[in-house]
Structure 1
Amino acid sequence: MKGVYFLISTLAILASATFLVSASDPSPLQDFCVALNDTKSAAVNVDNLLGLNTLGISLARIDFAPNGLNPPHTHPRATEILVVLEGTLYVGFVTSNSDGNRLFTKVLNKGDVFVFPIGLIHFQLNVGQVNAVAFAGLSSQTQE
């Protein structure tokens, strides 16, 4: 009978231990490298900086002439954070169907930051009389 109690208690302990176990995906980080001092391209992604491979990030500089527009677009696999370095931008995004397709907009000035959530349609428009410059960071190595 001791053997049966031992077996039952062992099974009970093993069954409860499975709830304490957690699992996660391993980090995709394989290696890293230092960026090259090359200003020929305004976008930095895995295509022109191989060290970004598997890091899940990219960066783009956007230069806007007065009334310049980055037309409505989406990044299906990336959240975007935009930092205005110069000028004035009118920016916005449209929420998903479940949120009623609401439009959120804001006028950004030098030093302002705005986040476009992953997969939502968004845009930027220079509403100032001078050129505007912004940097966009994306949580995708391909800017998609």
Structure 2
Amino acid sequence: MDEAFIQKPHPWDIRLIRRFMFWIGLIGSAYDFLTFSVLLRVFQAHEAAFHTGWFIESLATQTLVIFVIRTFGHPLTSRASQPLTLAVLGLVGVGTLLPFTPLAGLLSFVPLPPLYFAFLLVATLTYLGLVDIVKRRVFATMR
């Protein structure tokens, strides 16, 4: 949490939270459909590849979004604590590497092609950027 917010707490307005969650839900759903489309149309993913690709994309976007929603400011200028940063990046790293480990079979994961990871990077960065824009617009009235 930002130091400024801790020093001067603000009451939560449930209407703002509802509006924020509505927009974030729409963005998340759009990125799910984008991922489904890319996996099926670009990579012609069979069931295990689809399962693996969607897991990794969901893990990356829904975990890294913590850095965006934990602050009213820009996530790159309002740095998270080192333990949070290490935990989140470690989790995403481990999840991304799982398909290349002996645990892959237990999880029905398969290795994905390098081009998938290029898609993942672009999708994750644009998702986080859109969430940041929505966050700033929705909560601008709260300050």
> Does the pair score TM above 0.5?
no
Answer 1 or 2: which has greater strand percent.
1
Q: Point out which structure has higher relative CO (alpha carbons under 8 A, 6+ apart).
A: 2
Q: Which has the larger radius of gyration?
A: 1
The TM-score with structure 2 as length reference comes to: 0.23
Q: Report which of the two has the higher share of helix.
A: 2
TM-score, normalised with respect to structure 1:
0.23
